[in-house]
Amino acid sequence: MVADEVSVLIVDDSALMRNLLSKMVEATPGLAVAERAMNGKFALQKIPRVNPDVIVLDLEMPEMNGVEFLKERKKLGITIPVIILSSIARRGAEITMEALALGASDFIQKPSGSVSEDIHMVKDTLTSMLLGYGGNYRRRQGKKTLSPAELAHSQKSENAPAHSPPAGPLAKPPIAFPAQAPKTPPAPLRKPGKIEIIAIGISTGGPDALRGVFAKLDADLKAPIVVVQHMPAGFTNEFAKSLDRLCPLEVKEAEEGDLIRPGRILIAQGNKHLEIERKSLAAVARLSDAPAVSGHRPSADVLFASVAKAYTNRALGVIMTGMGRDGAEQLGAIYQEGGITLGQDEASAVVYGMPRVAHELGHVMEQVPLDKMAARICAIVKSDR
């Protein structure tokens, strides 16, 4: 193991899954396997010895399952980030959200149940999470991490852009390079007006980020919020409920015809596009099964485009942590209509992909650290324009 690599503790009761995950980690530049454990009890015993930077945790295990491990981790004051491997079966979504509430950072759905021999299908997403969360943890501990240039050299692809599409299911994850100077976009059609809606696009790293932002929102925030968080179908309802418990505003999964009203946050359903239609008396949510856009359904590009059309210069668009480029293009539609646009900054993003591309396109007016995002959103909405 290279000293600067992110070390991963793999916790799963299936020997096959431990083997498949280990191969996946070892094949990824910047990652290394610290140790493996068959349940939470053995994981707790191994943590002091191997001191991992990030933990991959199955939820369904004998003797000490994932939820029990997270409870004990919390008691012991262990702050190592945890990525949950989740199955939709057997109350999977509800248990996953309980795990997030107990301090897990993020989750990824196993493609085909508890023992997924096709786990390689989510390789890019999982390894990006491990590099992001594990790298952030190492930096907080004062440890060095491999630079983007070092990672690129180990991949022999120094010139590969962070948002280039993978070559196949076993392709190596994208590398986050420092942002280039932004392009100069066309001048906005009009000056910003009083903000009447907030639209957020977010992906990898989003569950943890949204929990932090929503918990800090002002209870008297008047503008409604609509969110695309890339998440599998079946999880977004429980995710919205989990956010509702910590947010001073109402949070719910978007349903067809839901009113867009002050004090309400709507989370796009998994596998459904969310668009906003403004009528003479009210604005409402529209759901659709239209094809994926920018590789996703729901797509932040679809949401941003509809918000720009419905609200022109009275919209605030926010693009946050995530792989790829979804939302980056149509955040520009909000910008061009005279709305205001924010992007999460590189230092605080688990994966600086979506906000980086938006910044390079010139569509981000201001880059904001995660811990200041809630305050900045509230300040913009409450300002007179």
Distance CA 164, CA 67 (A): 36
Catalytic residue among 230, 273, 296, 363: 230
Query: Residue 266 is inside which H or E element, if any?
Result: strand 264-267
d(CA 256, CA 78): 42
Structure tokens at 56: 């991959």
Structure tokens at 340: 């205001």
Q: Which one from 326, 348, 359, 363 is the annotated catalytic residue? A: 326
Alpha carbons 302 and 247: distance in angstroms, whole number = 25
CA distance 212 to 233: 23
Q: How far apart are CA 187 and CA 282, in angstroms?
A: 30
Tokens read off for 325: 């480029």
Q: What angle do CA 99, 265, 234 make, to 5 degrees?
A: 45
Concerning whether 12 is annotated as a catalytic residue, the answer is no
How far apart CA 235 and CA 155 sit, in angstroms, is 34
**Active-site residue, from 203, 242, 306, 348:** 203
Question: Residue 128: CB partners within 8 Å, gap ≥ 6?
Answer: 173, 174, 204, 323, 351
DSSP track, 115-154? S-TTGGGGHHHHHHHHHHHHHHHHHHTT-----HHHHHHH
Catalytic status, residue 363:
no
Name the residue among 47, 67, 70, 57 with its Cα closest to residue 18.
Answer: 57
203 is catalytic: yes
Distances (CA, A) of 153 to 120, 158, 160, 165, 324: 23, 6, 11, 19, 21
**Which residues belong to the active site?**
203, 230, 326
